[in-house]
């Protein structure tokens, strides 16, 4: 999958999205639209959204905010947001902020 591409999944399986490159203030608006599009597709099909962040090269507070808002929106709509893979950049920020415990699939 490429950045912003929603992967095909079988019925009942989670909708998958891989984000590549920066997850920073410079791409926040673009990524918000992509993330919300994937989340709405997941909710419409009564599936969870899984994010693969293994190819994220930079991650800052805007990336944190995007994930927290997406997770809250998923829960509000009765869905779930799961992280299936994270890059060293994401893991470092999660370790510094203590956010690993707030997302399934993230090893502290």
CA distance 96 to 17: 25
- Average pLDDT over all residues of the chain: 86
CA distance 78 to 35: 16
Taking 80 as the threshold, does the pLDDT of residue 1 lie above it? no
Q: Map out the domains of the chain as residue ranges.
A: 6-102
What's the confidence (pLDDT) of residue 100?
A: 84
Phi, psi dihedral angles at 49 (to 5 degrees)? -110, 125
CA distance 17 to 53: 9
**Considering the chain, what percentage of its residues have pLDDT values greater than 70?**
84
Taking 60 as the threshold, does the pLDDT of residue 3 lie above it? no
pLDDT band at 86 (very low <50, low <70, confident <90, very high): very high
Chain centre to alpha carbon of residue 56: 11
Q: Which two tokens stand for residue 8?
A: 């095909």
Taking 60 as the threshold, does the pLDDT of residue 94 lie above it? yes
Domain 6-102 annotated CATH 3.30.70.580: no
Q: What length does the chain have?
A: 108
Using one digit for the tens of pLDDT, what is the confidence trace for 42-78? 998 888 899 999 999 999 999 999 999 999 999 999 9
Q: Which of 2-6, 33-37, 73-77 has the lowest mean pLDDT?
A: 2-6
């Amino acid at each position: 999958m490429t950045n912003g591409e929603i992967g095909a999944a079988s019925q009942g399986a989670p909708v998958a999205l891989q984000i590549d490159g920066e997850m920073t203030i410079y791409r926040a608006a673009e990524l918000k639209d992509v993330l919300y599009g994937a989340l709405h597709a997941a909710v419409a099909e009564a599936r969870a959204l899984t994010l693969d962040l293994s190819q994220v090269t930079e991650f800052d507070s805007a990336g944190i905010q995007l994930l927290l808002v997406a997770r809250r929106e998923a829960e509000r709509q009765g869905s779930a947001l799961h992280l299936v893979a994270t890059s060293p950049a994401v893991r470092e920020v999660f370790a510094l902020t203590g956010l690993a415990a707030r997302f399934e699939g993230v090893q502290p």
